Structures are given as structure tokens and as C-alpha cells.
Amino acid sequence: SQQGEEDPQALSIQEGENATMNCSYKTSINNLQWYRQNSGRGLVHLILIRSNEREKHSGRLRVTLDTSKKSSSLLITASRAADTASYFCATENNAGNMLTFGGGTRLMVKP
């Protein structure tokens, strides 16, 4: 079973627009991570936000975490065609020995 649920499941935008993806989870966590996957290949780690953090930035990425609502969002600003991929949130349990992924958001950025 997957703890995280991403919303939307699919998103299509024009180059230059912003893309926002949301993630909800069910149990307490140590941290929440976002990953990117191109065409069924290996995942690439994008950003990690700890349970005591509320917002984090990395380049064009902005992640927020609301532990009271058990939700997170990933914002990609000024999107590019190369951002086309599937994006997954993943929650690490408190013991730090298990990572649970959501079902992913498939993002398409049209040039």
C-alpha cells in the first residue's frame, strides 16, 4: 500500500508556466522527499524537507510541508520542456528505515 497520494495524477502546462503538485500522507514522518523519474528509469532525488521544517527552496523548486494537515506541495517555477517527467513524494518513517512513495504526478511541459 502507498501512504502518499499525489494530486493531480497528471498535469499538462506550457513552458514558462508554474507547476504545482500536492501530496498527502497518513502517518507521522521523519521527513518527506520529492523524486523525479524520467520514462521508467531510476529516480532522482530532488529535495528533502524535515518534519520540523515548513518550507524549502532549491533552484526553481519550492517545497512546503504542513504536518498538521499531513500534506506537502512541490512548486516548479518557470517550467521547461526538460521538466517533463513523473514526480513522486515519499515519506520516511520515524525509524528512518522505510520510505513510502505515492502514486506520482505525471507532468508534461509543452514547448
Give the interface segment with another protein, choosing from 14-22, 42-50, 58-66, 72-80 (CB under 8 A). Answer: 42-50
How many whole angstroms separate alpha carbon 46 and alpha carbon 69?
22
> Smallest distance from the beta carbon of 31 to another protein, in angstroms?
7
Give the interface segment with another protein, choosing from 11-19, 43-51, 59-67, 76-84 (CB under 8 A). Answer: 43-51
Retrieve residue 109's grid coordinates: 511541459
> Residue from 22, 24, 64, 101 that binds another protein (CB under 8 A)?
101
Strands (E), the chain: 5-7, 10-14, 19-24, 31-37, 43-50, 55-58, 61-66, 71-76, 85-92, 99-101, 105-110
> Smallest distance from the beta carbon of 108 to another protein, in angstroms?
15
Among residues 15 and 99, whose Cβ is nearest to another protein?
99
Residue 31 interacting with another protein (CB under 8 A): yes
Retrieve residue 21's grid coordinates: 503538485
Residue 2 interacting with another protein (CB under 8 A): yes
Positive or negative, the Cα torsion across 102, 38, 20, 14? negative
